[in-house]
Amino acid sequence: MIKHLSLDLWNTLLVSNNKFSIDRINYLQNHYFSGFEKEIIDEKIENIGMEADKINMKNGISISSEKMYDDLLRKENIIIKKDELTKLYEDLEIEFLNNIPNLMYDLDKITNCFENLKSNGFTLNISSNTAFIKGKTLLKVLKKIKIHKYFDFFIFSDEIDCSKPSKKFFDHLIHKCSQLNLNKNNILHIGDSLEADIVGANQSGIKSKHIIKKQQDLIIYLNSKNFNEDF
pLDDT in the model for residue 212: 85
The pTM is what?
0.95
| E strand map for the chain | 4-7, 14-15, 102-103, 123-128, 153-156, 187-191, 207-210
Question: Which tens digit of pLDDT belongs to each residue from 176-222?
Answer: 999 999 999 999 999 999 999 999 999 999 999 999 876 568 999 99
What is the bridge-based pairing of β-strands 123-128 and 4-7?
A: parallel
Residue-by-residue pLDDT tens, the chain, 231 positions:
999 999 999 999 999 999 999 999 999 999 999 999 999 999 999 999 999 999 999 999 999 999 999 999 999 999 999 999 999 999 999 999 999 999 999 999 999 999 999 999 999 999 999 999 999 999 999 999 999 999 999 999 999 999 999 999 999 999 999 999 999 999 999 999 999 999 999 999 999 999 987 656 899 999 987 787 776
**CA–CA dist 224, 116 (Å, integer):** 11
**CA–CA dist 85, 96 (Å, integer):** 16
